[in-house]
Structure 1
């Protein structure tokens, strides 16, 4: 297999100098607007289930076992996320499918059924059995994130601007899910109890699968059902310069952004001098994230996506630095909203890089591999923030800004070294 695909894009690619070559636009599928609406509704539902599941599981175990249930809830939430490491292998199921709708719809339904089943079984069967059900459901996780997003360009077709706009709306579904998921748990748990709340999340995932089955068959793979072995797909990511650099940059960046909500709670409490000040700071970050994603849907970006992504990493570093330097609570609110917005725009840009540089036979595996690397780094960042925040939230944010800035430096050095060697990267 060559080091990098000569033309990894179904339509277009890059020049030998790495400049964008838009190539011919793919024809817009019939009823594209309706198909995109169905896709976004399904994505928002399944990501609401995913965004609320950790909160729901912790709330449920606390309700069943008291304060001692917090550790079990945390364990179950971790087990729901851990199977993302198997993402490149589960993505290959999607890659090799002639029709991806049953694969995705089945994965969404399996996630919802496993989540609801584990909630119903908790306290009635052994903890090991509940954990096993959670792990099985978690295997669907990669298909709910990168796997689903990998189908979007094939579904939308059209020109580059249409695809970038659709990616912005897709990014917004993550923001919706991260806000609506915990909101559903908070609302239902306070009235009906945590069990109905978790069951509602499971039902949302099943409904997402049903909706997805209504999409046209145009979501099938561009490689006509062919799929690269996982090992070869991973080599593509590492040997294709833009994919390698963006994966490294976003992985490094996620160390900081993964823990920013933890830091927000502590910093907000010290600046606002009220119990809810920290939570409000975190909510503002989430609102900024959603607004940034919606902005990219309304005003899609243009230009070569890798360079744009690296610039946005630099902007995100500045935004996190502003959070560290905020002199008061009101300024911190604006700074965290800006950090959330830049994070969302950055994420949308990474979707464009994946879409442009992924070879058709490994599109899903590239999307999922990069998503899994980001999630693993984010989880490590959350744990690290919990340690650093004890020293001081401003120091934690300042170190986070430095870490994100180092990602820009790493990308620039990689590009220059590749150019000096005359390689395809």
Structure 2
């Protein structure tokens, strides 16, 4: 019962934290639908690349939950300062507050995930079920956060919606603080430096292959919303209707996460990443061939469904192949690279809209399938 309670508290805290992180960018754009809003949204995502520096502090912490709880609270406080300060204090201070919240973001994603393994029994099935729940928290937060920001903005105003998201982050910190304490088994002086941790990822075969597969798959994943709207002419529907394809993808992620929680993925994590990634690439190709809206809707849902076991397998890989001396740094570094890949995918799709949605989907399919094939060759040459 204690394990179940701890996991449910983790799920609640992780969902709130990730929902606040995902929804805040939408809130800023709605609050200031100009270049200022876009800059503030970027301030929340760009600092994710600094995540490994903060993750090292988590690896060295005697009680990681306290650091994560403080970071969740800090995210909420600085988000609230930016929301309340916009148009009321100098813009540079608002940007600084948003960027500070952005620096906290990596511990709300990869940092939290790195603590999950200590909350559940060590057997494979229990660990994989917990990782499925973690994927569910990402999917739920990533869907509910932006939706809540948009809905609240229409009802109470964007500023209030940002304050609600800030409160959610603070509550997430309290839930994390209520989790069982898990001491760090590694002496502080044995924790790897940031450079050593990044070198470890590049030189450890399974981690390297999971890393570049995650990054490549995140590129078309980040472009989903853009591609969905761009599909309107080919499907002979309005842009608003085509936008529902992005919702279908999010719905699929939730369905897939529930499935891998109920029936955990078993087997070597790295091979699962290759297999589920290849299947996801095939799904992108099927979407490109959809003759009408109904089949395209089903195809986008399928991509989301397959993304869930793929993402769960990447989480399992980080847990299986990262040493205790750099666990948080491995989790956060891969999460940061994934965010970077998603941002690159969004930007690339926006600049290549002239190619058409079908071509963009085919490019995404080719990238993912080719990467899956590359992992097989990589594994044979450098196990």
The TM-score with structure 2 as length reference comes to 0.97
The alpha carbon displacement at 1:269 in A equals 5.5
Instruction: Report if the CA contact (8 A) 1:269-1:277 is conserved.
Output: no
Instruction: Report if the CA contact (8 A) 1:101-1:213 is conserved.
Output: yes
- Residue of structure 2 equivalent to 1:37: 8
User: For residues 396-424 of structure 1, what are the alpha-carbon distances to aligned partners after superposition, in whole Å with 9 as ceiling and x for unaligned?
Assistant: 11111111111112211211221xxxxxx
- Residue of structure 1 equivalent to 2:77: 113
- Larger C-alpha radius of gyration, 1 or 2? 1
C-alpha change, 1:269 and 1:221, in structure 2 (3 Å) is farther
Of 95, 115, 133 in structure 2, the residue corresponding to residue 151 of structure 1 is: 115
- Hey, what's the Cα distance between the residues in 1 that align with 2:162 and 2:338? 26
Matched, 1:382 2:320: no
- Residue of structure 1 equivalent to 2:170: 206
Of 417, 421, 424 in structure 1, the residue corresponding to residue 381 of structure 2 is: 417
Of 330, 334, 337 in structure 1, the residue corresponding to residue 301 of structure 2 is: 337
The alpha carbon displacement at 1:158 in A equals 3.2
- Hey, what's the Cα distance between the residues in 2 that align with 1:162 and 1:194? 41
- Residue of structure 2 equivalent to 1:97: 61
User: For residues 288-309 of structure 1, what are the alpha-carbon distances to aligned partners after superposition, in whole Å with 9 as ceiling and x for unaligned?
Assistant: 0111111111110101111111
- Residue of structure 2 equivalent to 1:223: 186
- Residue of structure 2 equivalent to 1:17: none
Matched, 1:161 2:125: yes
The alpha carbon displacement at 1:341 in A equals 1.1
C-alpha change, 1:199 and 1:87, in structure 2 (3 Å) is same
Show the 5 A alignment for 1:115-154: 115-154=79-118
Instruction: Report if the CA contact (8 A) 1:250-1:407 is conserved.
Output: no
Q: Which moved more, 1:207-216 or 1:185-194?
A: 185-194
Show the 5 A alignment for 1:341-380: 341-380=305-344
Instruction: Report if the CA contact (8 A) 1:268-1:281 is conserved.
Output: no
- Hey, what's the Cα distance between the residues in 2 that align with 1:205 and 1:184? 14
Instruction: Report if the CA contact (8 A) 1:237-1:366 is conserved.
Output: yes
Show the 5 A alignment for 1:276-315: 276-315=240-279
Instruction: Report if the CA contact (8 A) 1:56-1:185 is conserved.
Output: yes
User: For residues 260-285 of structure 1, what are the alpha-carbon distances to aligned partners after superposition, in whole Å with 9 as ceiling and x for unaligned?
Assistant: 22101111464252342122111011
Q: Which moved more, 1:372-381 or 1:225-234?
A: 225-234
The alpha carbon displacement at 1:38 in A equals 0.6
Of 45, 57, 67 in structure 1, the residue corresponding to residue 28 of structure 2 is: 57
Instruction: Report if the CA contact (8 A) 1:52-1:201 is conserved.
Output: yes
User: For residues 3-60 of structure 1, what are the alpha-carbon distances to aligned partners after superposition, in whole Å with 9 as ceiling and x for unaligned?
Assistant: xxxxxxxxxxxxxxxxxxxxxxxxxxx7111110110000010011011111100001
Give the RMSD, CA atoms, in angstroms.
1.3
- Hey, what's the Cα distance between the residues in 1 that align with 2:341 and 2:243? 23
The alpha carbon displacement at 1:164 in A equals 0.3
Show the 5 A alignment for 1:78-93: 78-93=42-57
- Residue of structure 2 equivalent to 1:171: 135
- Report the secondary structure of 2:243's partner residue: helix
- Hey, what's the Cα distance between the residues in 2 that align with 1:131 and 1:267? 35
Aligned length: 382
Consecutive aligned runs of 4 or more in structure 1 exceeding 6 Å deviation: none
The alpha carbon displacement at 1:236 in A equals 1.3
- Report the secondary structure of 2:62's partner residue: coil
Larger proportion of helix: 2
C-alpha change, 1:268 and 1:300, in structure 2 (3 Å) is farther
User: For residues 149-200 of structure 1, what are the alpha-carbon distances to aligned partners after superposition, in whole Å with 9 as ceiling and x for unaligned?
Assistant: 0010112133111000000000001111111111211221111111110100
- Report the secondary structure of 1:150's partner residue: helix
- Hey, what's the Cα distance between the residues in 1 that align with 2:206 and 2:302? 26
Matched, 1:238 2:212: no
The TM-score with structure 1 as length reference comes to 0.88
Matched, 1:256 2:220: yes
Q: Which moved more, 1:395-404 or 1:253-262?
A: 253-262
Instruction: Report if the CA contact (8 A) 1:147-1:368 is conserved.
Output: yes
- Hey, what's the Cα distance between the residues in 2 that align with 1:86 and 1:269? 40
- Hey, what's the Cα distance between the residues in 1 that align with 2:151 and 2:224? 25
